[in-house]
Structure 1
Amino acid sequence: MSAEDETVSTREMIARRQRLLGPAYRLFYEQPVQFVRGEGVWLYDPAGHRYLDAYNNVASVGHCHPHVVEAITRQAAVLNTHTRYLHETVLDYAEKLLATFPAEIGHVMFTCTGSEANDLALRVARTCTGGTGFIVTDNAYHGVTSALAELSPSLGLPASKDSHARLVPAPHPASDGTGEIFARHIRDALDDMEKNGIRPAGLLVDTIFSSDGVFADPPGFLRPAVETIRAAGGLFIADEVQPGFGRTGSHMWGFARHNLIPDLVTMGKPMGNGHPIAGMAARPDLLAEFGARSRYFNTFGGNPVSAAAGIAVLEVIDTEGLIENARSVGAYLLDRLRQLQARHELIADVRGAGLFIGVELRRGGAAGTPAAGEGAQIVNMLRERRVLISVAGSHGNVLKIRPPLVFGTEHADLLVENLDQALLALNQVPA
């Protein structure tokens, strides 16, 4: 297919998509890209060009991992039905998954999406605390249900005047105490709830604050905030959809970097390498109370095929040493990006943990103006170079790097070299 034919085909597909799916969906990139297959860290377009995927955490152990594909295929050929019948595979998976958590987390309930998992966590928190107020960070994303859209300010939806949600600034690293500053914001939100007659139910955070701009350090900074919400009668809900399953490189779960034990933990599609499985893990006393007051089922959450996919992902993470790979390759990538920072004034900060990294862009150094336009330009320039990343942060000025866990140092080099060329093309330094 010639470049001209490819352009015409893309235009036709975009028009067809808009006609069939409507205007609410969004596509990545100024020039959208079509993919027809994936393998490991690579995605392939119809012409056979391969693109380095440095963004998609849903395919957590790599696109189309053979072990996961085989597990899904084998189970799908035997049985797939809903979870109101007995089936051993979901129990096997629950045992293996719960073994990765602290002993205090003793139950898991399965859903199909992270949004459903977070929605369930809200229900449990409301039931067990009697509260209705939730605290989230001011550019958070937690899901697409009606309840979670109100707790996902990154979607740009205005909160209703009667909202029981309270937004707090994300915990930016600070020399005078990141944790205490964040806890102070939590206390301010709780004070405002009290003034308005709202009883707190919980603090819901993505434990690497990915939509806010990726804030991982210093380890332990979350503890004062968690102690604050618990003292007020609320629960700590750790949203591990993005940082979980070894991505941060030191632990299986993002909350473990802060030496914390959550009350509720939510997970999403990375647990099935993209297969639609998600879940909520919990302290048993909370689910005992919730179960006594509520009836819950999810028709296909934890079905046999999904459970088989989940088991296979855990096996791949273990046998291929992917947590250690995230640690070592992530450290290598951070070092390479910081070398790049020394050459490019536009890079104000490089931060992250394991294979979850944010590169903050500002005009005029660390205290300068957020470079939102440049962030979007770089993402599109990298797409033209067949490297895929995205942006995060309330200004869209943080390059978000979050590749499959099988990412290697050779892939890190390719990413950095292309980012260097994109920055040079913006005339930030002499070529």
Structure 2
Amino acid sequence: MSETLLDRRARLMGPNVPTFHAQPVHIVRGEGVWLWDADGRRYLDCYNNVPHVGHCHPRVVEAIARQAATLNTHTRYLHTAILDYIERLTATLGHGLSQAIMVCTGSEANDVALRMAQAATGARGLIATDNTYHGNTAAVSQLSTRRPPIGGYPAHVRLVPAPESLKPLGGSAEAQAAAFTASIAHAIAELEDSGHGFAGFMLCPFFANEGFPTLPRGFLDPAVAVIRRAGGLILADEVQPGFGRLGDAFWGHERLGFAPDVVTLGKPMANGHPVGAVVTRPDIMADFRTAFGYFNTFGGNPVSAAAALATLDVLEEEGLVANARDVGAHLLARLRALRHPLLAEARGAGLFLGAEFAHPDHTPATGFAERLVEGLRQRGILAGRIGRQMNTLKIRPPMPFSRDNADLLVDTLDEVLATTEETA
């Protein structure tokens, strides 16, 4: 009997390697916002933020090919492309964030950011939210909550309750900021009392993996004040909300209205080529470079820099941030017009949107959300789920997503809602 692709995958990659969908899709080609499987079926990609300016964008492909045919080496030799990119990148940021380390992944970037906080403060204690994800190195996996570390969470890490939309901390939307701040203050006190001290707080400024709850600008201000008084750093993981995805701001921290000490970047910044970065102020960079002998062979190589520069070019020249704002507003309005007994809230910003499904008592309708995603896939729409109970539909398409694409998504979603079984 012939071996299936899934059997071969398990034999060669081992067990529990995650795939999307009950019947995984065998993707063989991509272009713009579309993907094609091995049988030639086309899917509208409403999920993947890695191809930020569209799958296989010719401008990025050409930049990679041209540079790969010329030179690719590391940063112990001089080359100008990495400097050109850092200048372009930091020009989009304020708050004195003017220096960067180029790496290969968001996980690496977040790992470096944690060490920056420890080098700048002389302390070890770290805080994150209790439903987050910041990567898969040994250090950042201790902040992530998909699976607890072997032996439990380390003593220098504290996880605080994440803000929510349907069940806000403190019992109401008005009380949520104070309740969130109180939990951070309590965690700082515990770290200080235990002798670890407080180095920093890492967050996604859109609280993406937490289900991107609806939060007002300034929500984080009380927490920022507490963190600053304690001498800790604020580490903003912009891997998901950054580079204009939210439409009305280039960065998530800009939209929420706070000044980070360190910003980390990853997946979208080179349209799928493996590039990440850590951006910070010169004083923090100096502390890090003094405390750690850091070098990354592939980080900032000429091919990666060319891909990242081309991605910025496309973002600017094709007006994709404005597109995210305009198409996102249209899409959100259409999502909010949908009616279903389990549709509790449609929310988001720009081209990072979703809908939370819950029963009348606000218990999560996780099974329904899972069946919904499968129903969309069967009709040629790729989407995902997120949130504490994975009951929030996650819509995060490439940035060239159009109004026609948005209408196709919502029309199909409306059909699937009407035919999906409502049981838990």
Q: Same fold (TM over 0.5)?
A: yes
Q: Which residue of 2 aligns with 1:352?
A: 348
Helix, strand or coil: the match of 2:217?
coil
- 1:383 paired to 2:381: no
* Contact 2:178/2:222 (<8 A) preserved: yes
1:154 is displaced (CA, Å) by 2.5
Flag the 1:373–1:254 CA change in 2: closer, same or farther, 3 A.
Answer: same
Match of 1:251 in 2: 249
1:178 pairs, out of 149, 153, 176, with 176
> Counterpart in 1 of 2:169?
none
Q: Does 1:422 align with 2:416?
A: yes
Q: Distance in 2 between matches of 1:346 and 1:156?
A: 31
- One-letter code of the match for 2:11? R
Q: 2:119 aligns with which of 124, 127, 130?
A: 127
- Residue 363 of structure 2 aligns with which residue? 369
Deviations 1:296-340 (A, max 9, x none): 111010100000000011111111111111111111111000001
2:49 aligns with: 57
1:17 counterpart letter in structure 2: R
**Mapped contact 1:351–1:357 kept (Cα < 8 A):** yes
Q: Secondary structure at the match of 1:378?
A: helix
d(CA) in 2 for partners of 1:178, 1:328: 29
> Which residue of structure 1 lines up, in the alignment, with residue 258 of structure 2?
260
**Structure 1 residues 378 and 344 mapped into 2: Cα distance closer, same or farther (>3 Å)?**
same
Task: Please state how far the C-alpha of 1:163 moved relative to its aligned partner.
Answer: 2.8
Asked if structure 2 preserves the Cα contact closer than 8 Å seen for 1:223 and 1:258, the reply is no
AA matched with 2:144: S
- Residue ranges of structure 1 left out of the alignment (5+ in a row): 1-7
Structure 1 ranges of 4+ moved more than 4 A:
156-159
Structural mapping, 1:5-404, within 5 Å? 12-102=4-94, 104-157=96-149, 160=152, 162-173=154-165, 174-340=172-338, 343-364=339-360, 367-404=361-398
CA distance in 2, matches of 1:175, 1:240: 24
State how far apart, in whole Å, the 1-side matches of 2:153 and 2:334 are: 46
Would the alpha carbon gap of residues 191 and 159 (structure 1) be closer, same or farther in structure 2, given more than 3 Å must change? farther
Per-residue deviation, 1:372:
0.7
Aligned mates of 1:158, 1:408 — CA distance in 2: 44
% same residue = 52
Cα distance change of structure 1 residues 39 and 30 upon mapping to structure 2, 3 Å threshold? same
TM-score (structure 2 length as normaliser) = 0.95
In structure 2, stretches of 5+ residues that fail to align are 166-171
Tell me how large the CA RMSD over aligned residues is. Answer: 1.7
Deviates more, 1:14-23 or 1:154-163: 154-163
Q: Distance in 2 between matches of 1:16 and 1:27?
A: 14
Matched-pair contact (CA < 8 Å) for 1:137–1:170: yes
Give, in angstroms, the shift of residue 159 of structure 1: 6.4
Q: Name the count of aligned residue pairs.
A: 417
Q: Is the 8 A contact 2:45 2:397 kept in 1?
A: yes
Note the C-alpha offset of 1:177.
Answer: 3.9
Amino acid at match of 1:391: R
The AA in structure 1 aligned to 2:294 is: Y
2:388 maps to amino acid: S
Q: What is the letter of the counterpart of residue 346 of structure 2?
A: V
User: Which amino acid letter does the alignment assign opposite residue 27 of structure 2?
Assistant: F
Shift of 1:89: 0.9
Displacement of 1:182 in angstroms is: 1.7
Tell me the amino acid that sits aligned with residue 190 of structure 1: I
Aligned-pair CA distance for 1:195 = 3.5
Determine helix, strand or coil for the equivalent of 2:174: coil
Q: 2:151 & 2:337 partners in 1: Cα distance? A: 41
Residue identity in the other structure for 2:350: G
- The one-letter code matched in structure 1 to 2:108 is E
Q: Give, in whole Å, the separation in 1 of the partners of 2:366 and 2:196.
A: 36
How far apart, in 1, do the equivalents of 2:357 and 2:292 lie?
47
Question: Alpha carbons of 1:159 and 1:351: their partners in 2 closer, same or farther (altered >3 Å)?
Answer: farther
Amino acid at match of 1:149: S
Name the CA distance, whole Å, in 2 between partners of 1:24 and 1:113: 22
Amino acid paired to 1:127: A
| Matched-pair contact (CA < 8 Å) for 1:141–1:155 | no
Residues in 1 aligned to 2:95 and 2:141: alpha-carbon distance in whole angstroms: 32
Change (3 A) 1:159 1:217: farther
SS of residue matched to 2:146: helix
Deviation (angstroms), 1:156 = 4.8
Distance 2:225 2:414 in 1: 42
Match of 2:168 in 1: none
Cα distance, 1:294 vs structure 2: 2.2
